[in-house]
Structure 1
Amino acid sequence: MSWLDNRVVLVTGGASGLGRAVVRRFVEEGASVGILDVSADGLADLSDEFGDSVVTSTGDVTRLSDNEDAVERTVDAFGKLDVFVGNAGVFDDNVTIAELPDDDEAIADSFRDLFEINVLGYLLGAKAALPELVETNGRMVFTASGASFEPDGGGSLYVPSKHAIAGIVRQLAFELSPSVSVNAVAPGYVPTNLSGIESLEREEGGVLDESEFDPSVHPAGIVPTPADYTGAYVLLASEENSRPMTGTIVRADLGRNVRGIGNVSGRALEFVTDGVDTA
């Protein structure tokens, strides 16, 4: 028996990257999965790969109606909804505040574009899924980040947006208890290219690829794959294995929180780890 047998899950941003790895792992664990994503091509690939185990919805997480449609399609296909996974997100390519455009409207556009996907999208998905989750005493699982706790995991827009996810998890856990459990996974480095935001002219996101990642800077000492993070999502989606947990953020950050922040003050100052001195 697998951990998610007979569970029905809806994943946003599930057509690529970490979201796609989560979908694949959930299907392997016995779940039926609905997927909401803007990429029709990516969703078609998932349908080809997983057949009747998935149902897809092409839509925008920043629209309540698209989230509601994805919930409806998932429930129509599989009869219920046990778990909502809020995962869709975009990156700011580590843009600093000095690098933001010198224009009120351009800064506002950049802020709005990123926060609408990374924060509002989670809230709208949670709102759309809530009535069905109340019926099943279900679970919400969000993708947080190491940047939900520390700087230097993104830029001056991305890091605050991921801090906001920590607030969403705690507040919704408080509001929805005991009917719905609310938790999150906070991955560290994920070797996948997050989308950027057009208003910053950084559409590719700028995430380091695997060849540029130095595993020696983290205590875990590995180069992770997206699949390496999926076990934490399975844990939080499984009522039997995480029943006492709500308001919890599982930090899967390669040990960064143990090591401490490696670069401060303009990313130029390095801590000396032998305890003798600091630069």
Structure 2
Amino acid sequence: MNMLEGDVVLVLGGGSGLGLGIARHCIAEGARVAIMEIAEEKLAALKPELGAEVLLFHGDVTSVEDLTACRRAVVERWGRLNALIGSQGIFDGNVPLREVPVERVAPLFDELFHVNVLGYFLAARVFGDLLEDSAGAIVLTSSVAAYAADGGGLMYTATKGAVVSAVRQLALEFAPRVRVNGVAPGAIADSQLRGPRALGLDHFKQSDVPKDAMLATYRTLSLMRELPTPLEYAPIYAFLASRHNTVVTGQTVLLEQGALNRAMLSAPGMTGGVGAGLTPRP
């Protein structure tokens, strides 16, 4: 069974990384896919692979004009939209607030919240009526950073927490016709999230971190041994976006590979277990 057979799915930020993995999986599940991406070079590189069957749209998710133009293109091509998946995002470089020059705090806030949060709000507004017409779905991307410190710096963490709250509110506002959910991934192999322009880090991507170092750190935190790829996260998005999801709305699915369930008392060095050295009372 193809989970998305015949459905029309729009992936925001689908030109690389997590978004591209989601788009590829949706295609494999039978969906007709549109990708909105701000980087023209990414779309040009994808065209030979994806061909004319996929609608590749160049646009900025923070622009109402671009989102509206994308809506027109989707409607002209297919006449409807069944699912909106938001995967765009900017990382903050994990720079502590105390190290951000005070004059850069506001620009950093504006840059991350515009892409990571406002882009989702605007898309929900622009495409919402199409999704109501089709009894469709919205799936937005949060992060483990919304649930635990040190998954990013203050700005990134705050944007991802905002997404979790937005999912709840949008689910209420769009009920009962549209199911609204989120996915909160943990570490992602070959993540293409770039750093913020406000700190001069827009040339840096998370995938620039040496893979061996990234994997070694990951293994100290996770109960699993390998970094998940975008394609391994994608099936969760596909299910939540599909008509087969008839029971979940207003929820954010936390996919942290056991990092929040790590060993404490049984960790190396804590020998003998929790009762070691204790003398039972008579």
Whole-angstrom CA distance in 2 between matches of 1:151 and 1:273: 24
Check conservation: 1:57, 1:69, Cα contact below 8 A: no
Give 1:19's aligned residue.
19
Structure 1, unmatched stretches of 5+, are: 262-269
CA-to-aligned-CA distance 1:50-76 (integer Å, 9 cap, x gap): 223310111111111211211221121
User: Structure 1 residue 249 and structure 2 residue 259: aligned?
Assistant: no
Corresponding letter in the other structure for 2:238: V
Report whether the alignment pairs 1:129 with 2:127.
Answer: yes
**Matched letter for residue 193 of structure 1:** Q
- Give the whole-Å Cα distance in 1 for the aligned partners of 2:5 and 2:234: 16
2:48 maps to a residue whose letter is D
Say which is worse superposed, 225-234 or 133-142, in terms of deviation.
225-234
CA–CA distance in 1 between the matches of 2:270 and 2:160? 27
Work out the CA distance in 2 between the residues paired with 1:28 and 1:272: 47
Q: TM-score, normalised by structure 2?
A: 0.89
* Equivalent-residue separation in structure 2 for 1:9 and 1:134 (angstroms): 14
1:258 paired with 2:261, answer yes
Tell me what 2:69 maps to: 69
For structure 2, list consecutive stretches of 5 or more residues without a partner in the other structure.
276-282
Aligned partner of 2:138 in structure 1 is: 140
Is the alpha carbon distance of 1:53 and 1:92 closer, same or farther for their aligned partners in structure 2, counting shifts above 3 Å? same
The separation in 2 between residues aligned to 1:272 and 1:68, in whole angstroms, is: 58
Alignment-derived partner of residue 280 in structure 2: none
Q: Is the contact between residue 138 and residue 180 of structure 1 (CA under 8 Å) also seen in structure 2?
A: yes
Letter of the structure 2 residue corresponding to residue 232 of structure 1: I
CA contact (8 A) 1:36 1:56 kept: yes
CA shift for structure 1 position 193: 2.9
- Counterpart of 2:211 in structure 1 is 210
Q: Highest Rg: 1 or 2?
A: 2
Is 1:221 the equivalent of 2:186?
no
The alignment's TM-score, normalised by the length of structure 1, stands at 0.89
Q: Kindly tell me the number of residue pairs found equivalent between the two proteins.
A: 266
| Alignment correspondent of 2:181 | 183
Deviation at 1:46, TM superposition (A): 2.4
RCO higher in structure (CA 8 A, sep ≥6): 2
Q: Partner of 2:6: helix, strand, or coil?
A: coil
The letter of the residue matching 1:225 is T
Tell me how far apart the structure 1 counterparts of residues 76 and 268 of structure 2 sit (CA, whole Å): 54
Work out the CA distance in 2 between the residues paired with 1:182 and 1:166: 11
CA–CA separation in structure 2 for the residues paired with 1:120 and 1:46: 26
Superposition misfits of 4+ residues, deviation over 6 angstroms: 270-275
Q: Which residue of 2 aligns with 1:51?
A: 51
Q: Which amino acid aligns with 1:249?
A: T
Which of 223, 239, 260 aligns to 1:235? It is 239
User: 2-side partners of 1:25 and 1:159: how far apart?
Assistant: 27
Change beyond 3 A, Cα 1:260–1:178: farther
- What SS is found at the alignment partner of 1:95? coil
CA distance in 2, matches of 1:86, 1:97: 27
